[in-house]
Amino acid sequence: MQLGRKKKQTIETVLYTLPAIILVTVMMYIPFVMSGYYSLTEWNGIAKEPVFIGFDNFITLFSKGSDFAKSLIFTARYTVVFMIVANVFALALAVILVKKLRTANILRGIFFVPYIMSMTIVGFIWKFIFSQGFAKMFEMTGLEFLNLSWLGDPKLAFYSVAFVGIWQSVGFYVVLYIAGLQAVPSDVLEAATVDGANGPAKFFRVTLPLLGPSITTCIFMSLTNSLKVFDIILALTKGGPGGSTYSVTLDIYREAFQNNNYGLGAAKSLVFFLIILVLTQLVLKGSRNKEVDI
């Protein structure tokens, strides 16, 4: 009787998980293996048979005339700025909003609204603000910074893209940090107060170490979100001016679907996948080692 029940449970488990396994295999694993093969070929996506060229695509990636290195540098800069500013700003807001304020719930909703909006829509909204909104405000106020070419200057375009990306997603990290702050035991904070710890000391020596799981989650999410940035850049600058805001994902899209060079595009995506794999593992390991158990 018991063996029959175990056999039935095994069959049910297989039947319930098999559709998901098939779907993941078809949608993820098979395309991944195919892209690995196409990275070793020269193919325009139209010809019946791709031409096998070995590692020539990977050699092209790291040649002096390749734009891939430039897109990697831009993505690295964007990732560092995004991770630091978004997490610091979100944590500061969370500390304020976790206090007993009358408007705390309203403010949480206001900060979270941009996150539920489409990144493409957010990009187009801020493109209008940078180009026409700031010009109108300059006419009204005369403030010189409003008259700068925020999307036309290569240096300013980078900070414009980073600002919009942070503005759109910071509400999500605020929610995660608020959840972490509310989970900190009150008796631990009361004990720190009894021991004579003031506000800043209590935060940096007690609260912040106990926020380890929330910090790990936010750092990991901000890392992955910044590495795959695409929509906002496509809506704001389309990689301009002069290719100064080309991210790796946008460069892969341009190579494969605009230049019809699927082989080189697949090689770029494979290299980028390996970079993301290494970075995420290092960040997760480093963050988890610094977590403190309650």
Residue 114 lies in a domain: yes
C-alpha 40: how far from its chain's center? Answer: 29
pLDDT at 291: 62
Residue 281 lies in a domain: yes
* CATH number of the domain that residue 215 is part of: 1.10.3720.10
Q: Identify the CA nearest to 272 among candidates 248, 246, 237.
A: 248
pLDDT at 233: 92
* Residue pair 118/34 in contact by the 8 Å Cβ criterion: no
Residue 37 lies in a domain: no
Residue 241 lies in a domain: yes
* Residue pair 94/177 in contact by the 8 Å Cβ criterion: yes
| Confidence (pTM) | 0.88
pLDDT at 273: 92
Cα–Cα dist 78/6, whole Å: 52
Contacts of 294 (CB under 8 A, 6+ apart): 184, 185, 188, 210
Residue 7 lies in a domain: no
pLDDT at 43: 87
Residue 236 lies in a domain: yes
* Residue pair 251/268 in contact by the 8 Å Cβ criterion: yes
Domain count, the chain: 1
pLDDT at 107: 84
pLDDT at 65: 65
Domain, as residue range, for 201: 67-289
Residue 229 lies in a domain: yes
Residue 19 lies in a domain: no
Name residues of the chain where pLDDT drops below 50: none
pLDDT at 207: 83
